[in-house]
Structure 1
Amino acid sequence: MTSAVPNMAEMKMYANPSMDFTERLEGDVKNEIMEELREAKAAGASPEAKSTMSRISTEASVDDAAVAPVQYEAQNLEVPVVIVTSEIHPWSKSGGLAIVAAQYAYNFATRGHRTMAIAPMYDNYEGAFYQCTKSFELFGGVHEVRYFHHFQSYGEGKGCDYVFVDHPSFRRPGGLYHNLTDNQEYSDNLFRFALFSLAALEVPVAIELGGAPRYGGKVMFIANDWQTGLLPVYMVHRHRAFGNYNDARCMYVIHNLGYQGCYPLRLGLPGTMQYDNFAQLGLPFAALGDLIYQYPLHERTFEGDSGETLNLTKGAIQCCDRIITVSPTYADEIRTPEGGFRLHDFVAGKSYFLVGILNGIDSSWNPTRDSSIASKFSADLSGKLECKRYLQRKLGLKEDDNACILSFVGRLTNQKGIDLIGSCIHWIMEDNKDGLQNVQLVMMGNGEENFGRMLQWAESSWKGRICGYWGFSPQVEKEIIAGSDFFLMPSRYEPCGIPQMCAMMYGTIPIVHATGGLKDSVKSWYSEKESSTGFHVWPLNEDSLKKVIFDGLHLYFREPEELQEMRRRAMAQDFSWSRAIDDYERHFDWTMADPPFWGRRTKRWHGRC
């Protein structure tokens, strides 16, 4: 991901503020594309070139083979849903956001809402048809965007209008948000996603899709993460300020507050010609207070540095009608200095309009009908042993029915705790552990080179007992989850987490740090023994992780009946998207019942409450 919370020294963009922006943009795009094409051709398909991309797929794709029962009767099914996202499966994907956005589109549509999903057009998409062209004045120039439309039917007259916003700035041969060759954020991201947010707001009221009537001004926008942070800001300050979209609402979903979209307010040193980023956004001065964040003195980088930055996530938090994040515990964590990444006070100040809803997984993660694994199985676990045997054969591990397989699938970053697993490898492999030493370890993921090398070192050091795969395969991921005994997720923070849910569906017991969605989805053997579905690590350090792994091995080798009962409880959990969408619909109704954010604020300012 990109646009993580930076220091002021990290925010260097638009090197020549005096040059006309449109000219610089076209030149930058052309130069970046040509340079990336040359570098990509030279790099080929090396693991190093791919390691900056995370394409972990444990969120699963949309699967309509089974529809879970609806538990909440929605009161506003006649209100259309407009999902605005910077990526959406299967057209664009850098991580879990694309899958979650696709689930929103599918589930709100099948619930009965007229549903639209809007995303940038990063490439030519088959089946997406040109609708119209519109122009927007932004960053000192007039920019044309083209709209493309694809309707996906889900049967019974229900479906989703997928709308793609096309502009040259979105079409890059590298990552969606950053150059893959050097992992640097694109210098024009502020422009790209400001343009995208403006363009998305035009669709419901100004475009007839496929000849169907326009959606109109009474809709529920669901904006996702920093890339759409300007959407509620534009809605409040450019639309509601003139009486538009007063019947609409915007729910802003925080998928990971560690990535906020931070850009300098002014570029250039004090006393020199400075480039004013805010002035390029086409917003009234009143919006500056919602967007501006000032770094404290100890984080400023040079004499005269005012520490002022534009923070797109802060603007969204201030201007949206409701804040949703992806688990109840994470909703609590982002109100603290440790979990709020400097925005905790702003989140806490809007706590009344904040909720955490645990993400779901779709019904394709079901071992009773999963044809991609070696043997289907149910709660009797009769086929899980064959999945283990197949995994051992495929990955070059010693074929041993009695060995306990620990596994990790995830991004190779400090956030995911792969370094902690690395610090335990020698102990896992060599320590007697009171006779609990028959252990195998499987690790797979894309990410940072030093951790990729660590995986390769571990496999070469304990050949036949460790598989360390620096890369990613969705099929192998399924096979790892189905064939393992324990799944390791010692993430330092995890807003939701999906792999632990998938693992439980396959009777693979998660060992997780007690944080965010990991804490919400896994019932710990230490605190809820009779209903436990896994283990919590707390506090998170090497010694604690070793202790929990030891306790898991103890159950595996010496109390297998208790472990089997834990597996069955884990497989019986409800992590369906239907459960999650029930909660979304409930907050949808409450949000529609409240006055719009601008209405509350306007009345208060003018003394009419």
Structure 2
Amino acid sequence: MKILMVTSEIGTIAKTGGLADMVAALTRTLAANGHDVRVVMPRYRFIRRETMVRHEAPLGVPMGTSERWCAVYETELGAIPRATVYTIEHDALYDRDGVYGTRSVPFFEDNALRFALLSRAAFQVCRALHWIPDVIHCHDWPTALVPVYARTLENRTEFDSTATFFTIHNLGYQGRFSAADAVEFGIPAPELEKAGVVVSTGLNFLRGAIKSADCVTTVSEGYAAEITTPEFGFGLDSEIRARGDGVRGIVNGIDYDEWNPSTDPYITPRFDSDSLERKAEAKRSLQTEFNLPVDSATAVVGIVSRLAEQKGFTALCGPTGALNRIADEIPVQIVILGTGEEWIERDLEQLSAARANVSVTIGFDERLAHIIEAGADFFLMPSEYEPCGLNQMYSLRYGTIPIVAPNGGLKDTVKQVDPATTTGTGFFIAPLDSDGIFDTVRRAVELRSVSPDAIDTIRLAGMAERFTWQRSMENYIAAYETTVARVRAAGRDGISP
């Protein structure tokens, strides 16, 4: 198949979070299986032109009553054939240090126009290449106008047989803007309203994609079910329920070559399920790296996370938060790596400064993340909601037992431990509050103390789990084929005033 990925970030080219990893991994896997996959994204300031090939002809992108001229730079996604990345250069909008904003300006005020241009440019790049894809697959609110353009300005064009495919990675981020921002989109106001973008408070990009895309997916079956409810729907649950074909959940995979304890270049020593005893040495390496007392008897609880309320830090932090109680009342060491909201960073730094059994590193470091996954006994993820999550799958791979909230992708990928039968791969937190987190960590640590053999059985069960991108890709291909066949048989309804 010919597949166009439209994204705000991908892999090592531009990354702020898990979206970049997912798009890169899916693109690589599709290409490795013989599909012609191409990617369109902005060329931000930090993406070096020297490593790319510039197209000779400039790219004209109609926006409103004018045309914006862009340059196109081409590169490859690693060494993978059939995975070409086209970056759109438009200095007025993209020549900045951040993807969506900076630390001092978290969200650029012209993001509506920045990503509307990207969405419109995707079609223009295809025209310039004389390459019309079978599927345009776009991701999250920054590319949510792609299916809207397909039903409006690109209706009855050469893209009529191209299926638009939209993946929700996090419904909490919707791309909400002022109605005045729509002036430069070029879409007549009645059509924009019928497409679902216009709401009472202004514009909602994500709502437009949910109502306009030919197929909508999200990144786990559990999350697909949750977002149909008011609790997890962020005000869009009725729109999701209204889709006749629903929203399909396809669990992300992980890269088992990169996350492989037997070959991991970041950890000492390396190990696998046949040499699980060496994980104890990896734990000593972790304790040394993070300046914790080297003590094999003490359980290590690891956290690698974006430091945000969504990730459960409201229940973890503060004087009555779970972390204070865990550090003071349970014989554990706590290792935390992450960056995010300033109040959480301050709280964690204070926690670490006051206790010898807590180590906090503000920032992100790939090597340290691997060391934590390899050396910790348990990995804590008390997310308020988690569309998919990757760290619980990394933890399973490394024999580190996840302690997770029973929601979204966490519930889809972790099996609840039954101490009586020693089955399962992790512990579910219940209730999902400060007391529930504390009690679940306490139970896990107690089981390790009284029954180390049971813990090893649980570790091995987790290490045997497989969540491959090959399996995820096959599910995406099945969805692509079904959607393309439907669009070509029935056509796509355009939106006219």
SS of 1:181's equivalent in the other structure is: coil
Aligned to 1:572: 464
Q: How does 1:394-405 map to 2 (within 5 A)?
A: 394-405=289-300
Q: How does 1:554-569 map to 2 (within 5 A)?
A: 554-569=446-461
Is 1:105 the equivalent of 2:30? no
Is contact 2:61–2:124 with CA below 8 Å preserved after alignment?
no
* Runs of 4+ residues over 6 Å off in structure 1: none
SS of 1:511's equivalent in the other structure is: strand
Q: 1:97 to 1:115 in 2, by over 3 A?
A: same
Is contact 1:257–1:340 with CA below 8 Å preserved after alignment?
yes
Is 1:94 the equivalent of 2:16? yes
Aligned to 2:59: 134
Aligned-residue CA RMSD (Å) = 2.1
One-letter code aligned to 1:447: G
Q: 1:181 to 1:174 in 2, by over 3 A?
A: farther
How far has the Cα of 1:196 moved from its partner? 0.9
Aligned to 1:251: 165
Aligned to 2:131: 215
How far has the Cα of 1:578 moved from its partner? 0.9
How far has the Cα of 1:377 moved from its partner? 0.8
d(CA) in 2 for partners of 1:572, 1:311: 42
Is contact 2:262–2:272 with CA below 8 Å preserved after alignment?
yes
Aligned to 2:141: 226
d(CA) in 1 for partners of 2:138, 2:489: 15
Deviations along 1:461-512, whole A, 9 cap, x unmatched? Answer: 112x111122221111110111000000001011010011101100000000
d(CA) in 2 for partners of 1:491, 1:204: 39
How far has the Cα of 1:279 moved from its partner? 3.6
SS of 1:332's equivalent in the other structure is: helix
Q: How does 1:219-368 map to 2 (within 5 A)?
A: 219-240=134-155, 242-265=156-179, 276-284=180-188, 285-294=190-199, 307-363=200-256, 364-368=258-262
Q: How does 1:485-500 map to 2 (within 5 A)?
A: 485-500=377-392
How far has the Cα of 1:552 moved from its partner? 0.2
Aligned to 2:486: 594
Is contact 1:169–1:192 with CA below 8 Å preserved after alignment?
no
Q: How does 1:103-182 map to 2 (within 5 A)?
A: 103-123=25-45, 124-131=48-55, 132-152=57-77, 154=79, 158-182=81-105
One-letter code aligned to 2:243: K
SS of 1:179's equivalent in the other structure is: coil
How far has the Cα of 1:523 moved from its partner? 0.5
d(CA) in 2 for partners of 1:370, 1:602: 51
Aligned to 1:424: 322
TM-score (norm 2): 0.93
How far has the Cα of 1:154 moved from its partner? 4.8
Is 1:439 the equivalent of 2:332? yes
SS of 1:222's equivalent in the other structure is: strand
Is contact 1:82–1:118 with CA below 8 Å preserved after alignment?
yes
Is contact 2:177–2:204 with CA below 8 Å preserved after alignment?
yes
- Give percent identity, aligned residues only: 32
Is contact 2:336–2:360 with CA below 8 Å preserved after alignment?
yes
Q: How does 1:72-91 map to 2 (within 5 A)?
A: 79-91=1-13
How far has the Cα of 1:311 moved from its partner? 1.0
SS of 1:337's equivalent in the other structure is: coil
Is contact 2:374–2:400 with CA below 8 Å preserved after alignment?
yes
Alignment counterpart, residue 378 of structure 1, candidates 243, 256, 272: 272
Q: 1:462 to 1:151 in 2, by over 3 A?
A: closer
Aligned to 1:40: none
How far has the Cα of 1:544 moved from its partner? 1.1
SS of 2:16's equivalent in the other structure is: coil
SS of 1:99's equivalent in the other structure is: helix
One-letter code aligned to 1:258: G
d(CA) in 1 for partners of 2:53, 2:70: 14
Is contact 2:70–2:88 with CA below 8 Å preserved after alignment?
yes
How many equivalent residue pairs? 487
Q: Any gaps of 5 or more consecutive residues in structure 1?
A: 1-78, 208-213, 266-275, 295-306, 432-436
Aligned to 1:58: none
Deviations along 1:394-417, whole A, 9 cap, x unmatched? Answer: 111111111100111101111111
Is contact 1:336–1:344 with CA below 8 Å preserved after alignment?
yes
Of 195-204 and 487-496, deviating more is: 195-204
Is contact 1:147–1:164 with CA below 8 Å preserved after alignment?
yes
Higher relative contact order (CA 8 A, sep 6+): 1
Aligned to 2:367: 475
Q: Which has the larger radius of gyration?
A: 1
How far has the Cα of 1:528 moved from its partner? 10
Q: 1:182 to 1:167 in 2, by over 3 A?
A: closer
Is contact 2:169–2:218 with CA below 8 Å preserved after alignment?
yes
Is contact 2:315–2:322 with CA below 8 Å preserved after alignment?
yes
SS of 1:97's equivalent in the other structure is: helix
d(CA) in 2 for partners of 1:557, 1:152: 46
d(CA) in 1 for partners of 2:255, 2:122: 28
Deviations along 1:555-606, whole A, 9 cap, x unmatched? Answer: 1100111111000000011111111111111111111221269835369x9x
How far has the Cα of 1:137 moved from its partner? 3.3
Aligned to 1:539: 431
Q: 1:165 to 1:427 in 2, by over 3 A?
A: same
d(CA) in 2 for partners of 1:521, 1:286: 41
TM-score (norm 1): 0.77
Aligned to 2:283: 388
Is contact 2:151–2:492 with CA below 8 Å preserved after alignment?
no
Deviations along 1:265-296, whole A, 9 cap, x unmatched? Answer: 2xxxxxxxxxx4334311133232223443xx
Alignment counterpart, residue 449 of structure 1, candidates 342, 364, 368: 342
d(CA) in 1 for partners of 2:416, 2:166: 31
Deviations along 1:123-157, whole A, 9 cap, x unmatched? Answer: 333331111212233245331111111245756xx
Is 1:186 the equivalent of 2:103? no
One-letter code aligned to 1:490: P
Is contact 1:148–1:163 with CA below 8 Å preserved after alignment?
yes
